[in-house]
Amino acid sequence: MPVNKLIVAALAATVAVGGWVVTGSAQQLPLQPVKERGANITAAYEGWYSNPDGTFTLLIGYFNRNRAQTLDIPVGPNNRLEPGGPDYNQPTHFLPRRQWGVFTIVVPKDFGTKKITWTIVANGEKTEIPFSLTTSYQISPFKDVAMGNTPPVLKLAENGPEFTGPPRGFAATLSATVGQPLSFPVWVSDKGPSEEGRGRGGAPATLTLVMHRGPGEVKFEEPRPRPDFAAGGKATATATFSAPGEYVIRVQSNDSSGDGGGGFQCCWTNVHVKVNVK
Same domain, 133 and 162: no
3-state secondary structure 72-102: ECCCECCEEEECCCCCCCCCCEECCEEEEEE
What is the distance between the alpha carbons of residues 88 and 213, in angstroms, rounded to a whole number? 12
| DSSP-derived pairing of the beta strands 172-176 and 268-277 | parallel
For residues 26 and 129, membership in a common domain is answered with yes
What digits encode the pLDDT tens for the residues 1-31? 443 433 334 334 334 444 444 443 333 445 5
Residues 29 and 93 in one domain: yes
pLDDT score for 18: 41
Q: What is the pLDDT of residue 89?
A: 96
Assign residue 243 a region (left: φ > 0; alpha: ψ between -120 and 50; beta: otherwise): beta
Q: Facing residues of 79 across strands?
A: 76, 120
pLDDT of residue 197: 39
At 145 the pLDDT is 76
**Residue 147 included in any domain:** no
Q: What is the pLDDT of residue 193?
A: 53
Cα–Cα distance between 247 and 270 in angstroms, integer? 16
pLDDT of residue 146: 76
Q: In terms of domains, do 157 and 215 share one?
A: yes
Q: In what order do the strands lie in the sheet with 172-176?
A: 172-176, 268-277, 245-254, 206-213
Question: Of all helices (H) and strands (E), which one includes residue 211?
Answer: strand 206-213
Kindly tell me the burial class for residue 2, based on how many C-beta atoms sit within 10 Å of its own C-beta (0-12, 13-18, 19 or more).
exposed
Residue 200 to residue 222: CA distance in whole angstroms: 18
Residue 167: name the closest of 75, 247, 100, 102 by CA. Answer: 102
DSSP-assigned letters across all residues of 218-231:
EEES-SSPPPBGGG
**pLDDT tens-digit readout, 74-124:** 999 999 999 999 999 999 999 999 999 999 999 999 999 999 999 999 999
Number of structural domains found in the chain: 2
pLDDT for the residue numbered 70:
96
**What 8-state DSSP symbol labels residue 34?**
P
Indicate if 167 and 109 belong to the same structural domain.
no
CATH number of 258's domain: 2.60.40.10
Read off φ and ψ for residue 141, nearest 5 degrees. -75, -10
> Which of residues 137, 165, 196 is at a domain's end?
137
Q: Judging by beta carbons within 10 Å of its beta carbon (0-12, 13-18, 19+), is residue 81 exposed, middle or buried?
A: buried
Cα–Cα–Cα angle for 229, 270, 262, rounded to 5 degrees: 85
Which ranges of the chain have pLDDT less than 70? 1-34, 192-203, 262-263
Which domain-ending residue is among 87, 107, 137? 137
Range of the domain at 34: 3-137
Question: Quick one: 116 and 232 in the same domain?
Answer: no
Domain match, 185 and 103 both: no
- Do 91 and 196 share a structural domain? no
Nearest to 274 by CA among 242, 239, 224: 239
| Residue 97, domain member (yes or no) | yes
